[in-house]
Every structure is written in C-alpha cells, then in structure tokens.
Amino acid sequence: MTVNRTPPPPLNPPERLLMGPGPSNPDPRVLTAMGMNPIGHLDPYFVELMDQTMGALRGVFQTTNHHTLPISATGSAGLEAIMANLLESGDSCVVAVNGYFGLRLAELARRAGADVRTVEAAPGDTVDPAAIEALLVERPAKVLAFVHAETTTGACQSIPEMVSVARRHDALVVVDCVTTLGGVPLDVDAMGIDAAGSCSQKCLGAPAGLGPITVGPRAMEAVRARKQPPATWYLDFGLLFQYWGEPGGSPKRAFHHTAPIAAIYGFHEALRLILEEGLDARWARHQAAHEVLVRGLDVLGLSLFTPPAHRCSTINVIRTPDGIDEASVRARLLTMGVEMGGGLGVLAGKVWRVGVMGHNAQTARIEQFLGALDAALRAEGYSA
C-alpha cells in the first residue's frame, strides 16, 4: 500500500442544530474560551484554574465534596473511574437496569471484579426500590448503582427512595447523572449520593471530552481501604488527586497526565454560565423548553414513549409513527442542518431521541427543531 502524503482538505464542518441525546450546541462563550492562549498543564495559572473549576463544579453538583473534578476523558471514563476505584474483586454490587446505560453500569462493575446483581425494569419504567431492598436483605452489597435519567428510554429514576434503601443496608450510592446534571434538580449532598458521574457535552453545555465526577467522604474512605490498587493507572483516584490536589495539600501538583487545557477552558466557562444563570432558573428553563417541545409534538400528532410519571425534561423519546422510516426522517433532517438521535437496543428503529439540553433548551431552538421535523415528516409522506 502506498503511503499517502497529501494533506487533507481544510476543516469546514457544517453548522448543525444538535437536538440528539448529546452532544448539544455549546454557548458561543464556551467556544471562545477554548481558543484562548494555551499554557502548560503545571503552569501556576492553570493550577489556579483547576481549583476554580473544581469549586464551580462543586456548586453545580451542590456538594462540599473536595474530590470533585472533570476527568480528562469522556463521561463514560468518569463513571468507569468511580466503579474501578470503589469496587474490587469479591465486592458485591447491585445495579438498577432499565436501559442500555444501566447495563453499562453493571458491566463496569463486573470489569472491576465485583459480583454484580441486577434488578431490571421494562423500557420506559423505573426500577422499584422495594425490589432493590429485597436483594439487599438477601445479601448486602458494597455499592448500589443506578442511572438518574436513562438516555435510551427517557425514564427518570427518583433518587431519594433509592438512597433510603441503600442507607438501611449500608451500601454506597453511585449515580449516573450524565443526562441530568445542569438540567434537572440534583443535590448531591442533600440527597445523600456518595459518588456521581456526568459528562461535559449535554446539559453542562461544553464540548465532549470531559467526565465530571464527585466522590464523597464515605466513598473515599472505601477507596482508601482497598486491599489492592485499582487495575487502572490512568483513572486511579490516588494518582489523579496528587495532580488535582488533596484538601489542605501543597499547591504544587504531581505530574499525572497532560490535561486538555483548551477543554478545561471551555468547561470552566460553561460552569461560569450555569452559576451566573442560577441553578433554579436553569432547571426551570429546561422544563419550560421541554413543555414547548411536548406541545409541538402533540400538534404534529406525535407522542412520547415514556409514561408521564417517569419523564425527564432533558431527554425526550418520541414514538415513530406507523409506516414511517425513522432513519429516513433523521437523514432528511440532517440535510436541513438539524440532528436528532435514533433508538438504541430494543427501541432501535422504533423511536427518536431528542435532547433539550444546555444552550439548546430555548423556545426559539425548540421551535426551529419542530419546524424542521414537520417538514421532514411531510416529505416522507406523513400527515397528522
């Protein structure tokens, strides 16, 4: 094979309204921040920026947990870091599963060496806390893990009841809040969550590439009590926090990895935007945008897959009308500069997934999406 030495063409990405399950469009301020002067990852200014970013992220998670940072990898890596550090061979873990991402949590726990038991619910439903309690009565577990909002089905699991069950049986609570942090009410400390992981590219409003996590005192105590170091070097909390800093520690940081400077700039600005807006106002904005979407879908004769009692404002799963090729509609939308997601797992080919997240949780953007969807459906022969 001949080696190609021809340079590729210059970048010219199309402009898209990203209304899928993620990524969402960042605020222009975030993109501007990412183009600022690069500096070294141990530069005194960057160390100060790390501390500011951790502090702002605590504000968004609503926690005093020192161990709160954006992992230099996607949200999947942040959740893997939590499971890999909390669990080791022989530990017991119970996972609530009502879609693909619950299954992923269970797989992360298995790969950490844990004995994993699952409680499953049908797509669109949530897991019954009583079923979790029955498993914990039968045999205790070190960790109870579940997804706050299942991105494949749009179902939102209530957190307080799950935490109450875990506390009665002395289990640590791990929450995947990838689709909710920054868009749906979440208070880590008040709710009693021990560890939580999210992502940068959804409701937080930054590009993909960072995995924000928070790890509380009970969880860190379990990490320090491990019999063996975690199998992962890159995601080892003991090493990561030598770089990001321990409470009361030296401002001098130990090298661990080269942080993605531009990504941290953008993430820092995204957190600034959230705290400037205020969490209550931001949650209300996401809910209002969701309601605009639901009303518009009703006009189009479309309905949500998720039962009303379990719906999450930030991820909306829409039933595909009979006789309509869902992939053709998505492809047609893309030619109009609008993206939405298809179904995953058992819902593949049956639903569309629409994110109402971050900068896109605005009436004007929702109406732009609805207009494009209407046009695409009509072009495919659909009428309400």
What pLDDT, in 10s, does the model give residues 233-244? Answer: 999 999 999 999
- % the chain with pLDDT above 90: 96
Q: What is the pLDDT of residues 148-168, one digit of tens each?
A: 999 999 999 999 999 999 999
Q: Is 169 exposed, middle or buried (0-12, 13-18, 19+ CB in 10 A)?
A: middle
pLDDT of residue 253: 87
Kindly state whether residue 1 falls inside one of the protein's structural domains. Answer: no
If we measure between CA atoms, which residue out of 193, 196, 263, 250 comes closest to residue 49?
263
The token duo for 43 is 């530069």
Q: What is the pLDDT of residues 303-350, one digit of tens each?
A: 999 999 999 999 999 999 999 999 999 999 999 999 999 999 899 999
CATH, residue 146: 3.40.640.10
pLDDT of residue 248: 78
Same domain, 150 and 135: yes
Of the candidates 275, 306, 328, which is a domain's last residue? 275
Per-residue pLDDT band for 49 (boundaries 50, 70, 90) equals: very high
Q: How many CA atoms lie within 13 A of 145 on its CB side?
A: 32
The token duo for 191 is 């709710």
Same domain, 268 and 294: no
Stretch 192-201: mean pLDDT, rounded? 98
Kindly state whether residue 9 falls inside one of the protein's structural domains. Answer: no
Contacts of 153 (CB under 8 A, 6+ apart): 98, 99, 123, 124, 305, 306, 317, 347
Kindly state whether residue 10 falls inside one of the protein's structural domains. Answer: no
Q: Which helix (H) or strand (E) holds 181?
A: none
Same domain, 309 and 248: no
User: For residue 337, what are the domain limits?
Assistant: 17-22+279-379
Kindly state whether residue 299 falls inside one of the protein's structural domains. Answer: yes
Same domain, 92 and 163: yes
Kindly state whether residue 12 falls inside one of the protein's structural domains. Answer: no
Angle at 154 between CA 367 and CA 275, to 5 degrees: 65
pLDDT of residue 308: 96
Same domain, 199 and 62: yes
**pTM to 2 decimals?**
0.96
Same domain, 303 and 269: no
What mean pLDDT is reported for the chain? 97
Per-residue pLDDT band for 252 (boundaries 50, 70, 90) equals: confident
Stretch 34-47: mean pLDDT, rounded? 96
Q: Is the pLDDT of residue 191 over 80?
A: yes
CATH, residue 345: 3.90.1150.10
Angle at 258 between CA 49 and CA 63, to 5 degrees: 45
How far, in Å, are 3, 79, 135, 262 from residue 94 at the CA level? 51, 15, 8, 38
Same domain, 146 and 234: yes
pLDDT of residue 103: 97
Give me the number of domains the chain comprises. Answer: 2
Partner residues linked to 117 by β-bridges: 94
Stretch 220-241: mean pLDDT, rounded? 97
Same domain, 77 and 190: yes
Same domain, 140 and 188: yes
